[in-house]
Chain A
Amino acid sequence: MESGDLFFNLCGTLRLLCGTLCNNRITINLQLILTKKYIILFKAVKFGFTYYRKAILFITAIILSGISFCQNEKLSEIIINIAEDMASEESDPEAASLFIEQLQELADNPVRINSDDETEISRLFFLSDFQIKALANHVRSSGKIVSVYELAGIPGFDRQSAELVIPFISLEARTFSISDSIRIRNTLLSNLIFKPGEKDTASPGSPLKILTKYRFLAGHLEGGFTFEKDPGETFFTGSPPLPDFLSAHLAWSAKGIIRKIIVGDFAARFGQGTNINTGIRTAISLTAPGYMPGRDEIKAYTSTDENNYFRGAAAEFAFRKIGLLLFWSQNKIDAAIGSVSDTSMFFIENLYLSGLHNTSSSMLKRDALTENTYGMNFTCNFSSVKAGLSLSENRFSLPFNSEKENPEKLFDFEGTRNRIVSAYYNSLINRILLYGEFSMNFPRNFALIQGITLRPSDRLSINFLYRNYTPGFTTFHGNGPGSGSSTSNEQGLLGNFTFEAARHFFISAGCDISKHPWLRYRSSFPSLGKKEEIRLRYLPSEKITFDLSYYFRYSMYNNVETTGIAGVEENRSRTIKVQIKYSPNESLSAATRIDHKVAEPSGSKGTLLSQDLIWRCRQVPVTLWFRYCIFSTRDWDSRLYTYENDLLYSFSIPALSGEGSRSYAMLKWEVGDYAELRVKYSITSLIENVNDFQDRDEVKMQFRVWF
């Protein structure tokens, strides 16, 4: 096939897709036809990329850059920095993915800020309680917000925090009518990701990553399903054959005593999250303008973490100032199973959390353990104090058996049952917000959180948070504020402030000191950690912004070079980031960024220079993202992380190490109000030696349709 024919075939297939959608005759049968065309499209593009991929990318990028103009589709720099910071945390590799996924859920289902409903507004999980209340009060007292530019004028908000929420809000008010309950609104999304030319013969399945999400909304009722196949996994497994990960839910919500009922897969969070929190933890950033409040919620599960969710039923009740959440779940989760020698007794060696089932050993771990969880959360709202009480219990089909001879695992959970009781409160007195939580599982293991937020003026916000998690405290679905993935074995104090020092000029800084009283992964001794951040932001106009941030990280790990008893290696890294964003008009924005990192004790240095462009074509609904980045790091210690725009429900924050370049181009095509197509091509070119070059590329495609 000639490359020209390939292009014509692609264009024809795209035209067919568009024509089909624009005719507005979408039925279940047509979905099947669409799926077939979709597969043809993917195969064609994959073929093209296999043989002509680089040439196609660069010719396309040049042609598009010639015909396109620009747009204003961008995330706040603060969010990007938080995501990059989380991606760099070795102790909690899933946190960044969870954070981005929650943001994408918000982008996909924006918060209706004109609904004056604090629960709805609190879905903006990065806002502080002050901001949530101020926003709801503003809508109640001044009427609907008609422009996002009004946000910066609301008490508690400034231009920086307004910028933060803009991508995730809608100015429509939520109103239910009879026609709404009759009309069904469906959304279907499908992602396909592959690495051209990469073949993995060791895995049982294809190297494609496939994700499909379907969601419907009909008045008070909503439902949907998610299925996912990771690279190397077979598409259908088990009996009956089902996708490797399949999740479904049905939820009903209203404003009466029964607020919400969910059947199927759901997520939950109570208070500060030391007992139950299947989502992102609080206090994720040292210098974010708001502070993440604790809150109580159950919601349908639409994420792709294959283990940290509930499967069963949950209900939310509210009567005047009293709230009650109840849930029950029975879920099969992944675990490594061992047996006691010379007996038929089995036990759990450890939980397997990656969700990958592409090798024989990982397939053995799939759904090896049954977990029963039930719990309740009771809250009472007084005039200035909200208090809550939570109880949860996990029961496992097999006992946990920790290796007591390994000192690191001395406090690990054992047995089949784990029960946690928690009490929490938050109190808003004038400009002071106090909040705390105490959780306990038996015997004598506890998690304690106490925080305070001060807002002496609208231009200054100060936060302090103390936490103390004993080494034996175990929570399987909790996620409290802290420096690692586990809400255990940590004492810490965090403090930060955000200050509008002058008009359009913001200073924020924070420090988090954590102490791990017992041994942990890669630290065979009680250890310390420290994080410091300083950020300066100058936003002189809508068209140009300046960001300067400094990060310091300190951690203690085993010195692998010593023999016998591990020595202490103190790792320090200092990073400076400078970013300038500019936009001459509404359809073009550009960003230039420089990062420089120094890692000790190796003395390794890393630098990158990156340039982003976003164009939105005025003539056709097409948006193009383009990045070119050159990086140079001496080794892995000085690696640098850069957030990339990506498909919905997919994220990319690559760790750039070595010498080379990283670039990507992404195209979004909105087909009326019915569909959207995104295609992303990314490539990392590495220079290993003078004559040793390597390319690693990836193609991502997404198709979304509304009907």
Chain B
Amino acid sequence: MSSLLKISVSILLLFLSVTASGNPYRFSAGAAEAGMGSFCITGNGFWSSFRNQALLGFNNSFSAGANYENRFGISELGTRTAGMIIAADRTSLGIVYSHFGYPDFRREMGGISCGMALSDKISAGVQIDYFSEKTSGEYDNNRILTYEAGLLIIPSEKIRVGIHIFNPVPNSLRKSSLPSTLRAGAGIELSKVLYAGAEAEMSSGEKLILRTGFEYEAFKKFWLRGGFSSENTSFTFGTGYLFKSIKLDLSFATHERLGVTSSVSLIFKIH
């Protein structure tokens, strides 16, 4: 009876995790990005670099960060993420680890990424991902190796366009049903203190998701953020503060039926 209950809860939680994300295998955006409706394809944020690796090409600071996402206030649906960016001139390396779930169902992801500025206007990046999915009971455990890649184009001084593909592997080379995802979006610097953008995402077998968000530097080193995602009609808002070399971000995202998801992130800018 106990194992049946565990399995039922696992399936329910899996359903909830799928409900809350277009592609459940993509790790959650950081708190800063989550506050902007998860718009992160062209942003300068730390976590954006792991959602579009091309952004690493223009990232020239050595930094490390940790993020915790508490989905709908259910600890079993929490996602813990840690990452590090090692910058070297026009090339940066990134390492990320993410853990979702609880002992009876957990999904872990590890990734190594590299981004390179090909010119002043173009940058490209790629990330190798390893997923491990473990379920208690008689269910199979999954281990998947795949890749994702991104491109950042700067057609004009204030406009940035981002393109990202995740797991673009033909069916005949797949060993699991890991979805493929395509994202594209653009951001515009409306003023020195206001950045806004929108992106579209589509995963195989899923509906199109539109996201839009903005970041406003209300005071020096203090940001306010807001956004909207068509996925579950979610409105988001957040805030961030930079204290010396430590940045703290908080965000809240609504769900039309399941409540609020909160995120907190700490980023250490080493140099």
Contacts and interface: CB of A to CB of B under 8 A. Distances in A.
B89 interface: no
Contacts of A663: 168
Contacts of B170: 54, 683, 685, 695, 697
A607 interface: yes
Contacts of A630: 180-182, 202-204
Given A582-B155, A687-B204, A693 B172 contact: yes
Contacts of B118: 69
B155 A695 contact: no
Nearest to A593: B184
Contacts of A596: 208
Contact of A628 (B154, B165, B172, B177): B165
B121 interface: yes
Contact of A611 (B126, B154, B182, B205): B182
Interface residues on B, range: 35 or more
B161 A694 contact: no
Interface string A677-707: 0000001011100110111010000000000
Given A65-B124, A695-B171, A660 B182 contact: no
A592 B182 CA distance: 10
A62 B125 CA distance: 11
Interface stretch (A41-49, A170-178, A461-469, A583-591): A583-591
B208 to A, nearest CB: 5
A72 to B, nearest CB: 13
A609 B182 contact: yes
B182 A543 contact: no
B156 interface: yes
Interface string A637-677: 00000000000000000000001110100000000000000
B156 A611 contact: no
Nearest to A658: B205
B270 interface: no
A164 B122 CA distance: 28
B207 interface: yes
Contact of B165 (A588, A611, A693): A611
A690 B179 CA distance: 11
B151 A628 contact: no
A48 to B, nearest CB: 15
A18 interface: no
A660 B169 CA distance: 11
B172 A695 contact: yes
A607 B207 contact: yes
B163 interface: yes
Given A594-B208, A661-B204, A584 B121 contact: yes
A555 to B, nearest CB: 26
Contacts of B171: 660, 685-687, 693-695
A583 B208 CA distance: 25
Given A584-B121, A608-B202, A695-B171, A544 B165 contact: no
B122 A609 contact: no
Interface in B180-232: 180-182, 184, 186, 200-208
B153 A584 contact: yes
Contacts of A686: 171
A629 B174 contact: no
A594 B182 CA distance: 11
A541 interface: yes
Contact of B177 (A544, A585, A609, A690): A690
A686 B156 CA distance: 37
Given A543-B155, A584-B153, A628-B182, A590 B169 contact: no
Contacts of B202: 607-609, 630, 632
Interface on chain B toward A: helix, strand, loop, or mixed SS?
strand
A58 interface: yes
B159 interface: yes
Nearest to A542: B155
B173 interface: yes
Contacts of B207: 607, 632
A548 interface: no
Contacts of A241: none
Contacts of B163: 590, 592, 611, 613
B162 to A, nearest CB: 10
Given A683-B170, A695-B170, A585 B121 contact: yes
A609 B177 CA distance: 20
B54 to A, nearest CB: 11
A12 B151 CA distance: 33
A320 to B, nearest CB: 54
Contacts of B203: 630
Contact of B182 (A584, A588, A629): A629
A580 B174 contact: no
Nearest to B165: A628
A592 B206 CA distance: 18
B247 to A, nearest CB: 30
Contact of A661 (B121, B156, B168, B172): B168
A690 B205 CA distance: 10
Contacts of A238: none
Given A54-B172, A630-B203, A691-B177, A66 B184 contact: no
Interface string B256-269: 00000000000000
Contacts of A54: 169-170, 172-173
Contacts of B201: 609
Given A54-B170, A611-B163, A693-B172, A580 B205 contact: no
A690 B176 CA distance: 10
A340 interface: no
Contact of B204 (A583, A659, A683): A659
Interface in A590-619: 590, 592, 594, 596, 607-611, 613
B122 A607 contact: no
Given A585-B121, A592-B184, A632-B205, A541 B172 contact: no
A32 interface: no
A588 B153 contact: yes
Given A609-B202, A628-B182, A55 B173 contact: yes
Interface in A166-219: none
A54 B170 CA distance: 7
A582 B153 contact: yes
A584 B168 contact: no
Interface string A563-597: 00000000000000000101111001010101010
B204 A660 contact: yes
B173 A609 contact: no
A580 B163 CA distance: 12
A70 to B, nearest CB: 8
Q: Which of A541, A611, A660 is most buried by chain B, counting CB atoms within 10 A of its CB?
A: A611
A544 B208 contact: no
Nearest to A578: B200
Interface in B106-154: 118-119, 121-122, 124, 126, 149, 151, 153-154
Interface of A: 54-55, 58, 62, 65-66, 69, 541, 543-544, 580, 582-585, 588, 590, 592, 594, 596, 607-611, 613, 628-630, 632, 659-661, 663, 683, 685-687, 690-691, 693-695, 697
Given A590-B151, A691-B177, A695-B170, 18 more contacts: A62-B126, A580-B186, A584-B119, A585-B119, A588-B153, A592-B184, A594-B200, A596-B208, A609-B182, A610-B182, A611-B165, A628-B168, A632-B208, A660-B171, A685-B170, A685-B204, A693-B177, A695-B172
8 contacts: A582-B161, A584-B122, A609-B202, A628-B168, A629-B182, A632-B208, A687-B171, A687-B204
Interchain residue pairs A-B with the least CB separation, the first 4: A693-B171, A609-B202, A584-B121, A592-B184
